[in-house]
Amino acid sequence: MSTERIGVAVLKGLEPISALSSQRLGELAELCVVEPVSKTLDPFRVKGVAGQLVFLLKGELALILGNGSSDVVVGGTPEARHPLGRRTPFAQAKAITDIELLRIDEDLLDIMVTWDQLAAAERTGSRATEAGPPTMANWSILTGLFSINNLKSGVFAQLPSAHINEMLRRFTRVNVKRGQVVVREGEDGDYYYVIEAGKCLVERTVGGVSMRLAELKSGDAFGEEALVANAKRNATVTMLAEGALLRLAKGDFNELLKKPLLQSVNLDQARAKVGAGGQWIDVRYPSEYQYDKLPGAINIPLSEIRNAVKVLDRTREYVLYCQSGRRSSAAAFLLAQRGLKAFVLEGGLRGAGPA
């Protein structure tokens, strides 16, 4: 496959891509690659068009319809501005000349268009009433935070489209100062946070000593563990610099994020996933894991699950468990919102019985 990149000017000539903002077009151009296909070949014999928008950039392509007739598309013409097969579905295709194609993931583009349209509505004044909660009006910052990479994988890519607008409506923006404690260990969980600007320090008290766990930056989220597990905050988060946070109340988080992302499986379903190449993850303390771990399970305690994201295989399914299902629910959500295929064992070991 060619490594030639697509220019923004080319994307502006394609529909419905041309409707994207300049920022989104630039981001999309970085991900797009030209796919060359030699004369006489069917470019869709191995890889079809399902789930994609495919555009003919150069050359001539014959689309063979279901009734045996054919339609010729020529790159650079008005017809080629639109995705192949959308106006007239085809059964096969044949390159009349050497051609160049562009493939774009349909779900990714749909997410990008959704966010851009919401941004446009915000800029033209379609925002919450003055009596309602404060909304996130600074879309120049917001669209930068939710970059194409964040939309392609992670929590926002996995949300049902209908939830995106409602989630944005319920998010509120909070300005924070350096040294301000946002959440404190031991307190009840009330909000889910996304860092719009600034940096945070995450600390936990162990044996009376404060331990530094992580440093979070713009685009990172925190506060979800206590909300998913319905438990107390397990760490203190302090601002290292002045900035701004986007926060979502617990009830809204459960409705719009937790429910769509947290997937549970029973013991039979879990065994089937592991048998098909999945992996058990025990999120309990090592002392618990050693006592009654499931066969083949690896141990990644809940406190370490964020650090494991970088080394886990994104193509593999993971079934997480603990004693009751509380800790594994929090861990599964942490993985799911970062784009991994994570499932929680219903009821944990206590509910599943002998494995």
Q: Which range has the worst mean pLDDT, 20-24, 164-168, 326-330?
A: 164-168
pLDDT digits (tens, 9 = 90+) for 106-136: 877 876 776 666 556 555 554 443 334 334 4
Residue keyed to tokens 């964040």? 150
Domain 127-258 has CATH 3.40.50.10860: no
pLDDT digits (tens, 9 = 90+) for 260-319: 888 999 999 999 999 999 999 999 989 899 888 999 999 999 888 888 988 999 899 999
Cα of first residue to Cα of last residue in the chain, in angstroms, is 47
CA distance 226 to 302: 12
Q: 16 preceded by cis ω (within 30°)? A: yes
**pTM of the full predicted structure?**
0.57
Residues 6 or more apart whose CB falls under 8 angstroms from that of 51 comprise: 105, 106, 107
CA distance 290 to 340: 26
- Closest CA relative to residue 319, chosen from 268, 250, 273, 277: 273
Q: Where are the alpha helices (DSSP H) in the chain?
A: 8-12, 22-31, 106-123, 139-145, 148-152, 155-158, 161-170, 224-229, 250-253, 259-261, 267-275, 286-292, 305-308, 326-336, 348-352
Average pLDDT over every residue of 59-65? 94
User: Phi and psi dihedrals of 67, rounded to 5?
Assistant: -90, 5
For domain 262-352, give the CATH superfamily: Rhodanese-like domain (3.40.250.10)
Whole-number average pLDDT of the chain: 83
Domain 8-105 has CATH 2.60.120.10: yes
139, pLDDT greater than 70: no
Q: Where are the beta strands (DSSP E) in 168-228?
A: 172-176, 181-183, 191-197, 200-206, 209-216, 221-222
Say which amino acid occupies 276: A
Asked if 83 contacts 55 with a C-beta cutoff of 8 angstroms, the reply is yes
Asked if 189 contacts 254 with a C-beta cutoff of 8 angstroms, the reply is no
For CA atoms 252, 115, 217, 283, give the dihedral sign.
positive
3-state secondary structure of 322: coil
Average pLDDT over every residue of 170-177? 90
Specify the pLDDT at position 46: 85
List residues with catalytic annotation. Answer: 322
pLDDT digits (tens, 9 = 90+) for 229-258: 888 998 999 999 999 998 999 999 888 888
pLDDT digits (tens, 9 = 90+) for 146-166: 555 555 555 566 666 666 667
3-state secondary structure of 187: coil
For CA atoms 139, 145, 148, 150, give the dihedral sign.
negative
124 vs 188 pLDDT, higher one: 188
Sheet with 298-299, strands from edge to edge, namely 264-265, 341-345, 317-321, 279-282, 298-299
Distances (CA, A) of 205 to 194, 224, 284: 23, 19, 18
Specify the pLDDT at position 141: 42
Residue 209 tokens read as: 């000593």
Asked if 27 contacts 151 with a C-beta cutoff of 8 angstroms, the reply is no
Residues 6 or more apart whose CB falls under 8 angstroms from that of 109 comprise: 16, 17, 28, 53
171, pLDDT greater than 70: yes
How many of the other CB atoms lie within 10 Å of CB of 187? Answer: 12
Do the domains at 127-258 and 262-352 have one common CATH topology? no
- Closest CA relative to residue 327, chosen from 295, 291, 288: 288
213, pLDDT greater than 90: no
Query: How do the domains of the chain map onto residue ranges?
Result: 8-105, 127-258, 262-352
User: Phi and psi dihedrals of 163, rounded to 5?
Assistant: -85, -20
